[in-house]
Amino acid sequence: MDVNRICNFNAGPAALPEPVLQELQANILSFQTCCMSILEISHRSSDFDAVINDAVARTKRLLGIGEDYHVLFLQGGASLQFAMIPMNFLTEDRKADYINTGTWSTKAIKEAEIQKKNFTVAASSEDRNFAYIPKNFSFTPDATYVHITSNNTIKGTQWAKLPDTGSVPLVADMSSDFMCRPIDMSRFGMIYVGAQKNIGPAGVCMVVVRDDMLKLIPDGLPTMLDYRTHVEKNSMYNTPPCFAIYTVQLVLKWLEETIGGLGEMEKINLKKADTLYSAFDESNFYNGTADRDSRSLMNVTFRLPDEDLEKRFIAEAAQNGLGGLKGHRSVGGCRASIYNATTVESVEKLVSFMKDFEKKNQ
């Protein structure tokens, strides 16, 4: 690979593991034995069948789930799922709870509201500009599901411990922390993931949905917006984004065979996060924006003493091979996204630069 590649801290599309990029490069002209590019092969071919079926199998092994869960590859990103979830699971006699922890939770709530579905906001951290994960909830006992956003890319917060919803299944947007650590899948009726942050490129959304959730879906939905359509056709009712799915398959292979599973991935992610957060905690120059007990392992948000310094920090970081450190346009500041593919060495290089920048500008 090009030795001049930057340390990529972009929030999404985000870093991919270099071994994955190398394998993609090798298969651009001719994929395995089919004498065509991976970009050219038919989604109806046995070659692509092998790709998508392997991706499904690896997902199930990594998550520790069985045949009662279905792995789907859909288009429209997590944003389409905001609308599909209430459309599929909430009829006139059903209700849901939502927990609002930031921008993406707010967007999910809006889509349920547009459809005039019956739901309650069971908790929110909006009172402090979403700087924390709520601890007090008011759940509806007979809710069909409780919706959470497991990690908040813009505000830099993450659920360290899942809320206790009793027998009510969780439905979670895990776009930005999927497979960063082991999770108890028995708690979830469904998870959905925009791939471009932690498991692949833009263009595909993974959905993992349990059988009992599928049984709730009413008849009469538009065909493409009915999860059962995609379960029955193995995500190939229409032409899927083959290249994006192939990339996801390679990332899953890397997680399983190179990293050694989600337990090992969590150890690496904890080391990266501890290294970076320690730099804040030892400094009066950098200030993290999330409460300590709500800090994200994936998106580290921080501010400098003033905006001019932040602009200089981002510019000089880029000159030193550290890219993607500008905060989301809605909040400003700085953000380092340290997803699975971001290496420990990249984080150490960032911390070294931060210390040098602080010395020069105090």
Residues in the chain: 362
Q: Give the chain's largest Cα–Cα span.
A: 65
Cβ contact 321:9 at 8 Å: no
Q: By three-state DSSP, how is residue 183 classified?
A: coil
CA distance 161 to 307: 34
Cβ contact 62:256 at 8 Å: yes
> Residue 197 catalytic?
yes
> Residue 104 catalytic?
yes
CA distance 245 to 241: 6
Q: Cα dihedral angle (295, 196, 188, 230), rounded to 10 degrees?
A: 170
Q: Which of 97, 173, 177, 226 is catalytic?
A: 173
Q: Is 202 left (phi over 0), alpha (psi -120 to 50) or beta?
A: beta
CA angle (244 as vertex; 155, 215 as ends), nearest 5: 75
The DSSP result for 236-280, as a single string, is: -SS---HHHHHHHHHHHHIIIIII-SHHHHHHHHHHHHHHHHHHH
> Residue 291 catalytic?
no
Q: Which two tokens stand for residue 265?
A: 């991935």
> Which DSSP category does 204 fall into?
-
CA distance 322 to 320: 6
Q: Which two tokens stand for residue 362?
A: 């105090």
The DSSP result for 89-139, as a single string, is: H--TT--EEEEE-SHHHHHHHHHHHHTT--EEEEEE-GGGTT-S-------
CA distance 210 to 206: 13
CA angle (209 as vertex; 48, 66 as ends), nearest 5: 75
Q: Which of 47, 97, 155, 197 is catalytic?
A: 197
Task: Return the active site residues.
Answer: 104, 173, 197
